[in-house]
Each structure stands twice: as structure tokens, then as C-alpha cells.
Structure 1
């Protein structure tokens, strides 16, 4: 499940990066207007350029936020996987210790029974 999540996140990020790169190729670039051109420029065109520029800045901010969130998710996932491996190792170690204790209890029970038998034989 975790590898599927990791793969899914990487695919999502690749799609986002691709869209941003392609968008950068196809979006018109806006250069400053000369004084003569500015006088002739239509207010709607300037307004549209400003809106598109603002939208581009917002998209870049969202991309940066998404990249940061992805980084945090990836880092947290790696830490969680490391912690999980540590827990599994601890569980295996505890199982071995429990087995040793059970053997020790069984051995102690046998010794107690042996001592009881020896006492009965001596009587």
C-alpha cells in the first residue's frame, strides 16, 4: 500500500510538473509596452495581461506549496517505514525472549518435580 501511495504521489507530481512546463511553453509572454503602444493599448488587454500574470504567480505559489507538501509526505513516509522496521525487529526480539523464558519455566518446572521426587524417594 505504501509503495502504491508513493508511486501515485510521484505520478501526480510528474503530471503537475508537465502541465506547468507545457503551460510555460504555450502561454504568451508579456513584455513592457513602449509609450506609443501603451497609449494605443486597450484597457481590456492590459487588464487581461495583469489577470493572467496574477494567475501565473498564484499557480507558481500553489506549485511550491504542493512540492513542499510532497516533500513532507515523502519524508514522513520514510520515517514511518523506518519506525515500522524497528518495531518489527523489536517484536521479533521479544518473541525470542518469550520463547527463552518459556523454556526456562519448563526447565525450572522439571527441576522442581525432580527435587520433589528425590524427597519422596528419600522418605
Structure 2
């Protein structure tokens, strides 16, 4: 089975097209080699998948006949992703420095309207 189809079947991607695009961008490795979407996979292959800033590590157990339900995914793969990958993502999510703080950087659309409104009101006073 193709790697893009496999990742779609075990529900890592919502569509095969998204899985294909991830392969083309180099986000998927099989046995430590960047692969094309058409690469065939076999049981006991090791897959590293970069998705949402997390490097998932999978081991293929079996090839599913088609897309499987969420409860049946564990029959076809073993997720060996270390917990540290998820902890790093949680730290980024709640970090104060991760998102732009209010008042820093470019003004938002609302800020722009307030600035324009303030400047127009000054012009009308003169």
C-alpha cells in the first residue's frame, strides 16, 4: 500500500490529498529516508511523521484494507512517539512569548480603525 494511502487509512490525515502534499514537502520519513507519496510500505516499517509541530513515530503492524474506524487504528500501527514531543507542544501553546502580546507589533484592523477615527476627529476640530 502507498504511504499516503496508509496514513489516510489510519487517520493521521483527513484526506489523501493532504497526505500526498505532506509527503511531497518532506514531512514523512520511512526507515529514516524521506519518501515520495507512491512509496510502498510493509509491516515493521518505521514511519516518522511531522504533523502540527510534533514528530510522530509509528511502526506498521499490518496493512488495512481501507480507511478504518478510530477504534481499530491500533490494530494496524504502534505509536512509539515519546511523551517529550507532546510536552514541548503544550509548552509552546501556553507560553506568553509564543503569541504576539497586545500592543506589540503591527496594529490590528480594529486598532487601525481607532487610530483613523482619532486622527479624523482632530482634523474636524481645526
- The answer to whether the superposition gives a TM-score over 0.5 is no
TM-score normalized with structure 1 length: 0.28
* Bigger fraction of residues in helix: 1
* Bigger fraction of residues in strand: 2
Q: Choose between structure 1 and 2 for higher RCO, CA contacts under 8 A separated by at least 6 residues.
A: 1
